[in-house]
């Protein structure tokens, strides 16, 4: 009896209320407000699917970012019920039927849920010089690469998994109070290059970029960064490690 | 030295080699915090000697006045310790000021953040700020009193102060706030420096245990002082000397009734 089954099937699905922060800084007179949308939950629904559903069926003006929808590009981070998450990796099923969505704080707001994390990440990267400072100026691609111990390569890879989503910075109480704070993502990058035997920088050099209250000594070890990182980077131990090393320089 | 000042005044300090001071201040903040916390734990043990009996507390307080070394009580030794502690305390408070939310915008931001995030360790930090702020006043008053009236520490003198001078509400607040602040502080110290390398659940458990243990110990001792003070209120001001102790101890304090 497929017909009588259909309504029962539909009943299993909840109706969700998504309360979304709306604000367009480009529009004169726009004031931040929360707007509610009601949608029917579907099997395996992620916030990415839910938001697209709202945009195609209910409100084409809603702004939010997605690229890979697989937790790789890091562009879909937003505050879900007050905590930063990757929307494409968040199942609505794990939440009550009332979900609030707000943009990541700290970063430049483009509109609604869309923030310019890329701009800040680039600035951070330039400030901390988060690229390999090798011995040679030019890379000779014809030569065989230097050997690296597998354990070292693995430890570096562990930190390289960062997708620059900005969740750690949005979760960080220190960053909310002090705009010039480096943030866990920056510490993660420094820790990564510190591990790299090809990088010629010493702890004195690293001190020059993170050895102050905007850097590692400003971190109050609230560890929200560690708890929200969607890639589960070992931020807690890495920051503590950097703090010890930088304190030894001082 | 002079060059440095002029370069800094020109707003160019950031363009020179980075100062080593942030590192030292960070270490100092932790070191003073650790010292104060260890002192607090030791202090609460000695303090609660009153739970064993008046004689035990008398021995402890006389011990710190050097009675058993010099055969004579020197309350200024207590003043000295309290004074040194006051310096550490002030250094710690000064360094902690760097971390306080210092204007309305910062306070509103961190408070909203704590409320919306519902993240335990972030909330605890705010509690550390609140309790630290209260300690500014309660800790300072307590240390000041101990530094300037060290002779008024003893089974009866302390009880009289707590009960008849009605200082027990003060001690109740001081105790709760100090133990809370120290327990959170020690937990955060371990996370901050990554040592001891226990997992976070273990550290959380230790934090809770430390808090509960020292609060209970302190509360029991406070209750005991209040009780002794109540019984002793008719003899307010009279000092306690164990029957087995030499009468000399009283004269040494120079305040026999
Ligand atoms: C009984 C006296 C005190 C004890 C046992 C104590 C203990 C501690 C400890 C162990 C820490 C952790 C250190 C660190 O994070 O590096 C700490 C941090 C802190 N203390 Fe105290 N403290 C005391 C008094 C005070 C006072 C008077 C203030 C008021 C200004 C204060 C404000 C703070 C603040 C705001 C922090 C957090 C600093 C940060 O986030 O890095 N404390 N305290
Ligand atoms: S460290 Fe984690 S939370 Fe921070 S940007 Fe990288 S992936 Fe995102
Ligand atoms: S430990 Fe806390 S203060 Fe430090 S970067 Fe992470 S969230 Fe920010
Ligand atoms: S869309 Fe790329 S991480 Fe979510």
Residue B123 has pLDDT above 80, yes or no: yes
Q: Are residues A108 and A138 both part of a single domain? A: no
- For the record, the structure tokens of A146 come out as 């230097």
Establish if B202 touches chain A: CB-CB under 8 angstroms: no
**pLDDT 10s digits, B162-190:** 999 999 999 999 999 999 999 999 999 99
**pLDDT 10s digits, B141-169:** 999 999 999 989 999 999 999 999 999 99
Q: What is the rounded (10 degree) CA torsion for B113, B114, B115, B118?
A: 120
Instruction: Provide φ and ψ at A137, rounded to 5°.
Output: -70, -45
Q: Residues of A with CB below 8 A from B17's CB? A: 208
Boundary residue ending a domain (A115, A147, A176): A115
> Could you tell me the fold of the domain covering B22-235?
3 helical TM bundles of succinate and fumarate reductases (1.20.1300)
User: Residue ranges per domain, chain B?
Assistant: 22-235
- B125, A211: Cβ pair inside 8 Å? no
- What confidence category does residue B1 fall into, taking pLDDT thresholds of 50, 70 and 90? low
In a domain, A107, yes or no: yes
> Which mutation among A89, A106, A230, A237 tests ligand 2's pocket best, with the greatest number of atoms within 8 A of CB?
A230
The predicted structure's pLDDT at residue B107: 96
The predicted structure's pLDDT at residue B253: 45
Q: Are residues A140 and A111 both part of a single domain? A: no
Boundary residue ending a domain (A115, A138, A165): A115
- What confidence category does residue B244 fall into, taking pLDDT thresholds of 50, 70 and 90? confident
Q: What is the Å distance from ligand 3's center to A232 Cα? A: 14
Q: Which residue's C-alpha comes closest to atom 7 of ligand 2?
A: A162
Q: What is the rounded (10 degree) CA torsion for B3, B4, B10, B14?
A: 140
Boundary residue ending a domain (A92, A115, A138): A115
- For the record, the structure tokens of B175 come out as 């105790």
Q: Are residues A168 and A212 both part of a single domain? A: yes
In a domain, A237, yes or no: yes
For ligand 3, residues with CB inside 6 Å are A 171-172, 174-175, 183-184, 219-225, 239
Give the count of domains, chain A: 2
Q: What is the pLDDT along chain A (250 residues), one digit of tens a residue?
A: 445 555 555 567 899 999 999 999 999 999 999 999 999 999 999 999 999 999 999 999 999 999 999 999 999 999 999 999 999 999 999 999 999 999 999 999 999 999 999 999 999 999 999 999 988 767 777 888 888 899 999 999 999 999 999 999 999 999 999 999 999 999 999 999 999 999 999 999 999 999 999 999 999 988 999 999 999 999 999 999 999 999 999 8
Would residue B71 be called left, alpha or beta, if left means φ above 0 and alpha means ψ between -120 and 50 degrees?
left
Nearest neighbour of A220 by CB, restricted to B19, B21, B125: B125
Q: What is the Å distance from ligand 3's center to B141 Cα? A: 34
The predicted structure's pLDDT at residue B112: 96
Q: Are residues A150 and A80 both part of a single domain? A: no
A84 Cα nearest atom in ligand 2: 3
| Residue numbers of the domain that contains A15 | 8-115
The predicted structure's pLDDT at residue A52: 97
Could you tell me the CA-to-CA distances from B53 to A1, A124, B56, B66, B118 in Å, in that order?
A: 83, 62, 5, 20, 45
Predicted TM-score (pTM) of the model is: 0.90
Q: Rounded CA gap, A23 and A143, in Å? A: 54
Cβ contact A237:A192 at 8 Å: no
């Amino acid at each position: 009896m497929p017909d009588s089954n259909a309504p029962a099937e539909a009943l299993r699905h909840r109706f969700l209320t998504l309360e979304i922060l709306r604000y367009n800084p480009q529009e004169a007179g726009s004031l931040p407000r929360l707007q509610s949308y009601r949608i029917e939950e579907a099997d395996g629904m992620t916030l990415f699917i839910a938001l697209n559903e709202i945009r195609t069926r209910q409100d084409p003006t809603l702004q939010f970012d997605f690229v890979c929808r697989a937790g790789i590009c890091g562009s879909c981070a937003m505050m879900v019920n007050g905590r930063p998450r990757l929307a494409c990796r968040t199942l609505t099923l794990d939440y009550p039927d009332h979900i609030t969505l707000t943009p990541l704080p700290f970063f430049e707001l483009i509109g609604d849920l869309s923030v310019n994390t890329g701009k800040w990440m680039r600035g951070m990267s330039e400030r901390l010089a988060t690229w390999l400072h090798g011995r040679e100026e030019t890379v000779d691609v014809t030569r065989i690469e230097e050997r690296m111990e597998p354990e070292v390569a693995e430890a570096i890879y562990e930190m390289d998994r960062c997708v620059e989503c900005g969740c750690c910075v949005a979760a960080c109480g220190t960053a909310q109070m002090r705009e010039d704070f480096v943030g866990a993502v920056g510490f993660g990058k420094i820790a990564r290059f510190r591990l790299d035997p090809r990088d010629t920088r010493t702890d004195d050099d690293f001190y020059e970029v993170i050895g102050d209250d905007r850097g590692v000594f400003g971190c109050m070890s609230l560890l929200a960064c560690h708890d929200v990182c969607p890639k589960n980077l070992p931020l807690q131990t890495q920051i503590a490690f950097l703090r010890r090393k930088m304190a030894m320089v001082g | 030295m002079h060059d440095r000042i002029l370069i800094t005044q020109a707003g160019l300090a950031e363009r020179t080699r980075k100062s080593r001071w942030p590192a030292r201040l960070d270490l100092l903040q932790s070191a003073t915090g650790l010292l104060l916390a260890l002192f607090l734990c030791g202090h609460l043990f000695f303090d609660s000697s009153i739970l064993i009996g008046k004689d035990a507390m008398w021995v402890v307080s006389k011990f710190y006045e050097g009675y058993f070394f010099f055969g004579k009580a020197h309350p200024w030794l207590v003043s000295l310790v309290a004074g040194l502690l006051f310096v550490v305390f002030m250094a710690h408070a000064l360094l902690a000021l760097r971390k306080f939310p210092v204007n309305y915008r910062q306070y509103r931001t961190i408070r909203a953040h704590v409320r919306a995030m519902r993240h335990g360790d972030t909330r605890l930090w705010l509690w550390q700020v609140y309790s630290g702020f209260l300690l500014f006043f309660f800790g300072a008053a307590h240390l000041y009193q101990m530094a300037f009236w060290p002779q008024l520490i003893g089974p009866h003198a302390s009880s009289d102060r707590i009960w008849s001078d009605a200082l027990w509400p003060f001690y109740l607040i001081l105790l709760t706030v100090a133990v809370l602040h120290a327990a959170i502080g020690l937990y955060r110290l371990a996370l901050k420096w990554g040592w001891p390398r226990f997992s976070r659940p273990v550290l959380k458990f230790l934090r809770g245990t430390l808090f509960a243990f020292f609060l209970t110990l302190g509360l029991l001792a406070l209750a005991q002082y209040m009780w002794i003070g109540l019984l002793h209120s008719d003899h307010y001001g009279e000092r306690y000397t164990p029957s087995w102790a030499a009468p000399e101890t009283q004269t040494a304090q120079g305040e026999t009734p």
